[in-house]
């Protein structure tokens, strides 16, 4: 595929946190972009600034239902990703990952389009290997409350590989680790947005357990750059490839840093650990370095400050919690 030409590009979940930035970058590059979203956990304001552009359009549609479009590339980003949201309607979450992938892969097969799957570090479950390389098969509870998302994404990866092997569909699979940055939904239930929102509102910051579980936080710009490098590589590197920041922090360390950067007086309150919450999470990015010449460049302190600055510019009254399940 000649990536220098103008492509017709579909971005499912295109009004979401990451999807909107992918749309923005594609529009700026001159591509003809279709943003497909059902606006369950996304925000129209994320793409409002693109609506007047002649090479951008929005379609309200649920990926679990078929749709017929003519495209050259598909960024398949659609799926609730925060635990409170994907557990709100777990059956719909599985359908989004499985039926949504079948519909998008069918389109890619018909159009001869390249398609990228936004998979997740959650496919590793509560890992017994640390850090997690792509060769690790994971430690996932198939019947737990997080299984709808974890197993849904694992099946999506299976579908992508089978369409590639049997139907020669041109695929890419990226495993996304914890990501943060401007345009996170303030009520998405993720730890970074929870902590910042609670801090700037002067509320207690809530952590689960003692906060000793670890995560590796990748700033949005670094993550999106990795996605584009994987999508546009012409070396037949299809993945799966981990994209994330290998710098590991405890949740308590994150909470303390947010308090420091916001200047908040928030106390830290402990709540019971949720079921199947991974104790450690850190990507092995050896393959990304080797095949994509990619590694993150923005440290947590800098990225958090940018995110906090953005949170201070928004009116929280203009956002509604997508589900009751948020901290």
Residues known to be catalytic: 149
C-alpha torsion sign, points 185, 266, 213, 141: negative
C-beta neighbour count of 249 within 10 angstroms:
18
Contact 37, 14 (CB under 8 A): yes
3-state secondary structure 150-218: HHHHHHHHHHHHHHHHHHCCCEEEEEECCEECCCCCCCCCCHHHHHHHHHHCCCCEEEECCCCCEEECE
* Spatial CB neighbours of 237, under 8 Å, sequence gap ≥ 6: 172, 230, 291, 292
Contact 168, 162 (CB under 8 A): no
């Amino acid at each position: 595929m000649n990536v220098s030409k103008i492509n017709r590009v579909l971005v499912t979940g295109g009004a979401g946190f990451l999807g909107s930035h992918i749309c923005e970058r594609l529009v700026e590059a001159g591509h003809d972009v279709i943003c497909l979203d059902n606006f369950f956990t996304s925000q129209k304001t994320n793409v409002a600034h693109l609506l007047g552009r002649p090479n951008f359009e929005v379609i309200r549609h649920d990926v679990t239902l078929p749709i017929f479009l003519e495209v050259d590339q598909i960024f398949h980003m659609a799926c609730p990703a925060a635990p409170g949201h994907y557990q709100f309607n777990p059956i719909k979450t599985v359908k989004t990952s499985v039926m949504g992938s079948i519909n998008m892969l069918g389109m890619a097969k018909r159009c001869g389009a390249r398609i990228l799957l936004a998979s997740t570090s959650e496919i590793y479950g509560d890992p017994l290997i640390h850090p997690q390389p792509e060769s690790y098969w994971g430690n996932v509870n198939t019947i737990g409350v997080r299984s709808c998302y974890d197993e849904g994404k694992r099946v999506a990866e299976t579908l992508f590989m089978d369409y590639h092997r049997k139907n020669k569909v041109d695929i890419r699979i990226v495993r996304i680790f914890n990501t943060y940055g401007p345009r996170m939904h303030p009520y998405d239930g993720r730890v970074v947005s929870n902590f910042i929102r609670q801090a700037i509102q002067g509320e207690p910051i809530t952590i689960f357990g003692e906060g000793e579980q670890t995560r590796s936080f990748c700033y949005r710009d670094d993550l999106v750059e990795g996605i584009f490098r994987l999508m546009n590589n012409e070396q037949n590197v299809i993945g799966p490839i981990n994209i994330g920041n290998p710098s590991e922090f405890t949740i308590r360390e994150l909470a303390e840093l947010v308090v420091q950067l916001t200047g908040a007086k928030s106390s830290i309150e402990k709540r019971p650990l949720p079921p199947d919450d991974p104790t450690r999470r850190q990507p092995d990015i050896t393959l990304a370095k080797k095949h994509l010449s990619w590694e993150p460049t923005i440290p947590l302190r800098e990225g958090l400050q940018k995110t906090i600055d953005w949170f201070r510019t928004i009116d929280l009254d203009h956002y509604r919690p997508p589900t009751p399940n948020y901290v």
